[in-house]
Structure 1
């Protein structure tokens, strides 16, 4: 079967003689305390936190209007389509919009910074 793992090397050990070096705990702590990692966290938080707060506020507005403004939510806009239905569908549209915006933000701003940190960490460990 093509998906089976190759047989273990002769000599009875499973470890590859020149396999990847595992970073130490100290290396991870050093990276977490670096300015580069702090910038990555700031970039993530400056996008995620405001968008999360805005979406929660938008969702709670919808719930509160549904609970306490039944007359407003029941207004027919055209045919049998009322305000509640339009705002409810807007919740779905907003969810997909946020997911799309986040994927663009991650690809353009987060991933390059994370990849730079990862590459630097791998080079440092390989040199050790």
Structure 2
């Protein structure tokens, strides 16, 4: 291998990364990712901060006993965990069906063009 060659033993040339980043396929992939992740993140943050604000300012509401010693605050707190797992499940299903196949196709196209 000559020293003037841009390829390395570790991987493709840096120019090919720029080509991928500038490609319409990559832009579409990035757009798909953002259309899923940003709204999901915003939704979760609103839900989380609503819980925190209710805990800080709505003591009577959060202390309301639903049955026995189970309060509204406890139920909402447990729902924070449930929503985290639900969002994770939604993301994994979405990624497996939508995002990963497109990313794999782009990777295969790029890797094939470098050989």
Question: How does the TM-score come out when normalised to structure 2?
Answer: 0.90
Q: CA RMSD of the aligned region, Å?
A: 1.2
Whether the 8 Å contact between 1:21 and 1:125 is mirrored in structure 2 is no
Task: Name structure 1 gaps, 5 residues minimum.
Answer: 1-19
Superposed counterparts of 1:82-93, under 5 Å: 82-93=71-82
Offset at 1:121? Answer: 1.0
Partner of 2:66: helix, strand, or coil?
A: strand
Aligned to 2:6: none
Offset at 1:78? Answer: 1.1
Task: Name structure 2 gaps, 5 residues minimum.
Answer: 1-8
Question: How does the TM-score come out when normalised to structure 1?
Answer: 0.81
Q: Runs (4+) of structure 1 moved beyond 3 Å? A: none
Aligned to 1:118: 107
Deviations 1:52-102 (A, max 9, x none): 001001000000000000000000111111100000000000000000000
Offset at 1:21? Answer: 8.0
The number of equivalent residue pairs is: 107
Whether the 8 Å contact between 1:22 and 1:125 is mirrored in structure 2 is no
Higher RCO (C-alpha 8 Å, min separation 6)? 1
